Amino acid sequence: MRFTYAEAMTDPSHYLPLARAAEAAGYTSFSVADSLIYPKESDTSYPYTETGDRSFLEDKAFIETFTLIAAMGAVTERIRFTPFVLKLPVRPPVLVAKQAMSIVGLIGDRLGLGVGLSPWPEDFKAMGVPWERRGKRMDEAIDVLRGLATGEYFEYHGEFFDIPAIKLNPARPVPILVGGHSEPALRRAVVRGDGWMHAGGGDDLDTLLTRIDAIRRAEGKADAPFEVHVISMDAYTPDGVKRLEDKGVTDVIVGFRNPYQKGPDTEPLAKKIEHLERFAETVIAKAD
């Protein structure tokens, strides 16, 4: 089992020392949240809280995802970084490929590219991208990422993207981890991705894992390498970690405060490091 430390919506000055502390404590990955804008008015609800309220985002600092990964990568040597998740279809995929390839060129194979759909039409509008057929746009964007990550000349002619033969340098393949709980998202993770990222919330984890297994079998990929990243209370005890591992989970995502609380994060940096180190001593060390 591998362990991902999750921290978001906190004082930006905390991230670099937290990355160093998580690496020293034995975590495999550090998850990086993605948020673009906060609209003044919206009727859209957040899908991963019980009430759908998203006002917890108000006045929270969000450093651009690849910028934050580059900064944390520069002060660490081994820990991996996993966007959780990058809102892919609102972004130009060639630019995302360039950003991702630049990251791996700087810090090596320490990027697991978590991608997903934004649940908010306002993100699409702000970026000048249609909300309609966003799933198909997402599929094409993943195809473009895959092609450009080879480092060879690549061209693409789809419904949304028409790209002449181009190549990027540096370039190397990166794992693409697809987030989401819907049937199209689960299928996308299996068919186009290298793994799946569970977003937590009220959906039944066992049901989602069973469905992913069924899709993998149907697609002839049951024995292919596949990452499964989950949020679960079972992750906080050695016995629970073993139960998750028996279900095929490869990575657990753990955090030590409620990120959905309104208002600023007032927890001191020293307390955050204390929490992540205690978990490493009581769970990670015993799960090896």
Q: Do the beta carbons of residue 185 and residue 177 sit within 8 Å?
A: no
Domain spanning 2-287: CATH 3.20.20.30? yes
Q: Do the beta carbons of residue 141 and residue 96 sit within 8 Å?
A: yes
Residue linked to tokens 């049951």: 222
Query: How high is the pLDDT of residue 258?
Result: 87
Nearest 10 degrees: Cα torsion 213, 216, 221, 226: -60
Residues, the chain: 288
CA distance linking residue 201 with residue 19, whole number of Å: 26
Read off the pTM: 0.95
- In sequence order, the β-bridge partners of residue 2 are 251
What phi and psi values does residue 71 have, to the nearest 5 degrees? -65, -45
Query: How high is the pLDDT of residue 227?
Result: 98
Instruction: Kindly report, residue by residue over 116-171, the tens digit of the pLDDT.
Output: 999 999 999 999 999 999 999 999 999 999 999 999 999 999 999 999 999 999 99
Determine the average pLDDT of the residues in 260-274: 94
